[in-house]
Structure 1
Amino acid sequence: MTIQKKSGKIFDNHDLAILRVLLNDSRKSLQDIGHEVGLSTTSCWNRIKRMETAGAIQGYTVKVDLAQLGYQDTVIVQVNLESHTDETLYEFGRVLATIPEIVEAYLVSGDYDYYIRIAVQDTKDYERLLREKLYKIPGIRHSKSSFVLRTLKKSDTPLI
């Protein structure tokens, strides 16, 4: 399979295989990556650098188990705003970015304006977050919260 980005960049099966290896363990050596995908170390290095330059690889990170850090619960919050002016949307997004417990936020179409994923320690911690941070953001007309009972799938990409 070959994937062509809108920018015209083409990623072939070897590129996708390298990405899968890196997504599973970005600390693997070039030798290990090359062995897994059937390419030389130099070829892997050149492909990785090309994908970094093209923006397909945007960085390297660590996967963290939030429960191990004390964040036992995940809450999905749906939010409607009073206004949809550029200034209101910008300001709402700016404030959301300052709240560490907010791990994802999406401006969406449909019945709500935003879907926000929040990591909290427990229900008391969520109540504190609502009172001290979320409800202090000007312009929220309505919100609806749902606690995640179980995560069935979690992935940042359809490649793995």
Structure 2
Amino acid sequence: MDELIAVFADLDKQDRKILAQLQADGRITTTQLAERIGLSPTATSERVKRLTREGYILGFTARLDATRIGLGLLVFVEVKLDRTTPDVFAAFAEAVNKVPEVLECHMVAGGFDYLVKSRVADMAAYRAFLSDVVLNLPGVRETHTYTVMEEVKDTSVLPI
């Protein structure tokens, strides 16, 4: 817990309350937010603008039910590249950023180079995605796929 406090040293208690409330409900009105944190609506609005300007708040989005919109299969793919050079990393990153099915892509340390999180309709759609997209990304040598059987926890809420 002390590490979190040190990281947020430049944020006061009110800023942290604002961030926590907005993570819980990004559609809350400024008036409601002000009431919950104990500041005036004007002061609250100014703080939200500052937190956005300084990059603490990156934006607001709606969370969608993936299954209801036909993207019920969640997969993680380990990707090994044929070479680990700056040009291959750059080409892979540029290409993967253009793929809408890729929700997250992380360069990792360990036995492979990237961990890719993706959602598709079903196993047939994943098979097509793997062969038509993933295996054609620059520098891909090998992949290992992990199909999610049950989502135990899925959150984007950061501990504030």
Structure 2 length-normalised TM:
0.90
Q: Any gaps of 5 or more consecutive residues in structure 2?
A: none
The answer for the alignment partner of 1:141 in structure 2 is 141
- One-letter code aligned to 1:109: A
Counterparts of residues 76-91 of structure 1 (less than 5 Å): 76-91=76-91
Please give the per-residue CA displacement for 1:110-144, whole angstroms capped at 9, x wherever unaligned: 11100000101000000011111111223212110
- Once residues 88 and 151 of structure 1 are traced to their aligned partners in structure 2, the CA distance between those partners, rounded to angstroms, is 33
TM-aligned CA deviation for residue 154 of structure 1: 2.0
TM-aligned CA deviation for residue 95 of structure 1: 1.1
Between the two proteins, the alignment pairs up a number of residues equal to 158
Q: Any gaps of 5 or more consecutive residues in structure 1?
A: none
Pick closer, same or farther for the CA change 1:51–1:3 going to 2, 3 Å: farther
Partner of 2:68: helix, strand, or coil? helix
- Once residues 4 and 12 of structure 1 are traced to their aligned partners in structure 2, the CA distance between those partners, rounded to angstroms, is 11
- One-letter code aligned to 1:110: G
The answer for the alignment partner of 2:12 in structure 1 is 12
The answer for the alignment partner of 1:126 in structure 2 is 126
Pick closer, same or farther for the CA change 1:74–1:153 going to 2, 3 Å: same
- Once residues 4 and 45 of structure 1 are traced to their aligned partners in structure 2, the CA distance between those partners, rounded to angstroms, is 25
- Once residues 112 and 35 of structure 2 are traced to their aligned partners in structure 1, the CA distance between those partners, rounded to angstroms, is 47
The answer for the alignment partner of 1:74 in structure 2 is 74
- Once residues 138 and 26 of structure 2 are traced to their aligned partners in structure 1, the CA distance between those partners, rounded to angstroms, is 40
The answer for the alignment partner of 1:101 in structure 2 is 101
TM-aligned CA deviation for residue 25 of structure 1: 1.5
Please give the per-residue CA displacement for 1:74-99, whole angstroms capped at 9, x wherever unaligned: 00000110111111001111111111
Contact map agreement 2:31 2:41 (CA 8 A) in 1: yes
Contact map agreement 1:3 1:10 (CA 8 A) in 2: no
- Once residues 97 and 138 of structure 1 are traced to their aligned partners in structure 2, the CA distance between those partners, rounded to angstroms, is 12
- One-letter code aligned to 1:97: N
